[in-house]
């Protein structure tokens, strides 16, 4: 009886701190659970070891760090440094690891070209587009945005998709956008950025009845960046204090980012320092615990051409923990959630947000109905289902590579 050839490992390249990127971790850990070895090449903090293992995934932390909130030139230098180091490190690793597949997570899209040496010797390349980079650039760097830079970013995005053997993205509007740009429909697969219900399982944490201690606990878990209108949340808390002085409210923002100083200053200006707190970022594994201890989760994303095609993972995580969720009214979110599930507020409008929050306080039957309907919808969108589609793409690419390359590939 002939022995089956051992599985070759899979390579991942991600411009992020691996432990902080829930989507990358879900995909990598899904591969590990399916029997694959996974090497991930990622950013490195100054105090971290160059290598490590997280949930069976081998990490190679490259000596490049994040400069969150920095200017455009700093970002470009950071992206360039990581691309070069990732190309070198992953290519060297391939000499002895013989990767079966390499997956690149954007941003930036052009990080996919770090796989060029491997692609030249027949390794299939999978590109996972977490964002729409041209729209992200225009939203994050409005002063540098102009028609020329936008067209150049569109060009690099399209070239990146052409270079890859298959493309993933995080929701249907982004998938349709890629198809309109000319990416072949059969090359694009939508894999929702949905939570792992094994981790976000409310039965694993003490159940908190709504306002059990008399305090309305509002929670946000995510980045403190301009994409998220946390200033609107602070103004909504102040508005609630004005409308209902006797209602105890506490809003807790777990995360880090460049808007923190401005948010702290605004809380002081509004006179609500005692009603808000900023404990800092917590590990992904701790997110279910802090959500379970709250009453309402919020997903306050500002609306612009970039975010109009997005849906916050935090929205899904809070809903999975059977908490009512208040989210800004974004086209993509409304496309996935029917009326009567989430509570929406108008983006940029603190009075609308305050009304939505107080509506959940005042209407207990309606609140319970929303929780149940949203929970059911999250079950339909959960990672359990998304993982099947993801593994289908991976197996198809690796299977196709084996069929095409029945010969030994040259060394790199």
| Domain residue extents for the chain | 10-194+382-404, 202-381
Res 134: pLDDT: 85
Fold of 10-194+382-404: Rossmann fold (3.40.50)
Per-residue pLDDT of the chain (412 residues; tens, 9 = 90+): 344 446 899 999 999 999 989 999 999 999 999 999 999 999 999 889 999 999 999 999 999 987 666 677 787 889 899 999 999 999 999 999 999 999 999 989 999 999 999 999 999 999 999 988 888 888 777 777 788 888 899 999 999 999 999 999 999 999 999 999 999 999 999 999 998 898 999 999 998 999 999 999 999 999 998 889 999 999 999 999 999 999 999 999 999 888 999 999 999 999 999 999 999 999 989 999 999 999 999 999 999 888 888 888 889 999 999 999 999 999 999 999 988 899 999 999 999 999 999 999 999 999 999 999 999 999 899 898 899 999 999 999 998 766 554 443 333 3
Q: Mapping DSSP to helix (H, G, I), strand (E, B) and coil, where does residue 201 land?
A: coil
CB 305 within 8 A of CB 332: no
Q: Which residues have CB under 8 Å from 400's CB, separation 6+?
A: 124
Res 203: pLDDT: 93
Pairing assessment for the beta strands 57-61 and 51-54 based on DSSP bridges: antiparallel
Pairing assessment for the beta strands 101-106 and 57-61 based on DSSP bridges: unpaired
Q: Does domain 202-381 have CATH number 3.40.50.2000?
A: yes
- Return the half-sphere exposure (C-beta side, CA atoms, 13 A cut-off) of residue 407: 5
Q: In what order do the strands lie in the sheet with 343-345?
A: 276-277, 249-254, 216-221, 296-299, 325-328, 343-345
258 backbone dihedrals φ, ψ, rounded to 5°: -80, -10
CB 312 within 8 A of CB 325: no
For residue 322 the two structure tokens come to 């059977």
Res 403: pLDDT: 55
Tell me the whole-structure pTM to 2 decimals.
0.85
Q: How many angstroms separate the CA atoms of 13 and 43, rounded?
A: 10
Burial of 120 (0-12, 13-18, 19+ CB in 10 A): exposed
Report which secondary-structure segment, H or E, holds 241.
helix 230-243
Q: How many angstroms separate the CA atoms of 107 and 308, rounded?
A: 18
């Amino acid at each position: 009886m002939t022995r089956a050839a051992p599985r070759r490992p899979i390579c991942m390249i991600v411009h992020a701190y691996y432990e902080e990127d829930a989507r990358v971790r879900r995909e990598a850990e899904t591969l590990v659970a399916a029997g694959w070895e996974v090497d991930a090449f990622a950013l490195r903090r100054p105090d971290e070891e160059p290598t490590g293992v997280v949930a069976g995934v081998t990490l190679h932390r490259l000596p490049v760090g994040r400069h969150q909130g920095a200017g455009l030139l700093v970002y470009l230098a950071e992206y360039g440094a990581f691309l070069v180091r990732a190309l070198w490190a992953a290519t060297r690793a391939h000499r002895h690891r013989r990767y079966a597949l390499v997956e690149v997570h954007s941003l930036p899209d052009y990080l996919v070209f770090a796989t060029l040496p491997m692609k030249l010797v027949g390794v299939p390349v999978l590109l996972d587009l977490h964002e729409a980079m041209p729209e992200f650039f225009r939203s994050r760097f409005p002063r540098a945005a102009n028609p020329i830079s936008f067209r150049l970013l569109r060009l690099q995005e399209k070239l990146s998709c052409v270079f890859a053997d298959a493309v993933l993205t995080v929701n249907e509007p982004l998938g349709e956008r890629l198809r309109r740009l000319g990416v072949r429909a059969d090359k694009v697969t939508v894999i929702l950025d949905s939570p792992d219900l094994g981790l976000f399982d409310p039965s694993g944490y003490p159940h908190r009845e709504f306002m059990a201690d008399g305090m309305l606990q509002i929670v946000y878990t995510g980045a403190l960046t301009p994409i998220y209108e946390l200033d609107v949340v602070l103004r909504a808390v102040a508005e609630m204090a004005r409308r209902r002085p006797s209602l105890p409210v506490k809003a807790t923002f777990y995360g880090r980012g460049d808007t923190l100083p401005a948010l702290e200053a605004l809380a002081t200006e509004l006179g609500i320092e005692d009603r808000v707190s900023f404990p800092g970022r917590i590990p992904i594994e701790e997110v279910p615990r802090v959500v379970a201890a709250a009453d309402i989760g919020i997903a306050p994303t500002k609306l612009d051409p970039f975010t109009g095609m997005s849906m916050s993972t935090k929205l899904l995580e809070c809903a999975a923990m059977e908490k009512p969720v208040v989210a800004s009214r974004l086209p993509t979110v409304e496309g996935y959630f029917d009326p009567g599930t989430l509570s929406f507020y108008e983006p940029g409008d603190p009075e609308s947000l305050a009304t939505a929050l107080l509506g959940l306080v005042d209407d207990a039957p309606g609140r319970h109905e929303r929780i149940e309907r949203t929970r059911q919808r999250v079950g339909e969108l959960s990672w359990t289902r998304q993982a099947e589609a993801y593994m289908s793409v991976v197996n198809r690419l690796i299977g196709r590579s084996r069929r095409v390359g029945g010969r030994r590939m040259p060394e790199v």
